[in-house]
Structure formats: structure tokens, C-alpha cells
Amino acid sequence: MAAYTPNFPGSNSIVEESWLEGRAKGKAEGILRILEVRGVETSDAVRDRVTACTDLDVLGTWLDRSLSVARAEELFAEE
């Protein structure tokens, strides 16, 4: 059975790129908000690195880590 891959208007275009950028921005904001609510101090360098990232998989990893790290820099630890 063939897998269905939706192809909406704007796929592989500026529309899709903008949509993905919006998802990345939302995840980055979530990461920083979780750290703030947890009282984890976040330097400008950490904020810049998180907000500059556009890789949704990396941001997902950082989002998961933001729930338990003691220091914001631990988001970037290699596994």
C-alpha cells in the first residue's frame, strides 16, 4: 500500500518555509518560557542560540531538556 503524502498549495515554497519558521519560533519561545517559569537564569547567549535555531528536532530535544535542567547551558549538552 502506498503512503499518502499530502501536498497542500504552497508546499516546498515560501508558504511552507514561513509555516516551519513559525513552528520553530513557537518551540523556542516555549523553551525560554519554561526556563523562566522554573526560575532558571537564561543568559543572552543562550537566548540568542535558542531563538536562532530553526531545526525542529533540535528544538524538540531542548524543549524536553528545559523541563529538568538546572542551568540553561545544559540544554546544549551532547548525549
Distance separating alpha carbons of residues 40 and 33, to the nearest angstrom: 10
Number of alpha carbons in the 13 Å side-chain half-sphere of residue 59: 22
Quick one: cell of 20? 516551519
Quick one: cell of 68? 529538568
- pLDDT tens column, 8-33: 555 566 766 676 677 889 999 999 99
Any domain includes 20 = yes
Q: What is the pTM of this model?
A: 0.75
Distance separating alpha carbons of residues 21 and 13, to the nearest angstrom: 12
Any domain includes 27 = yes
Q: What is the domain range of residue 65?
A: 14-74
Largest interatomic CA distance in the chain: 51
Any domain includes 6 = no
Of the candidates 49, 48, 76, the one whose C-alpha atom is nearest the C-alpha of residue 62 is 76
- pLDDT tens column, 30-71: 999 999 999 999 999 999 999 999 998 999 999 999 999 999
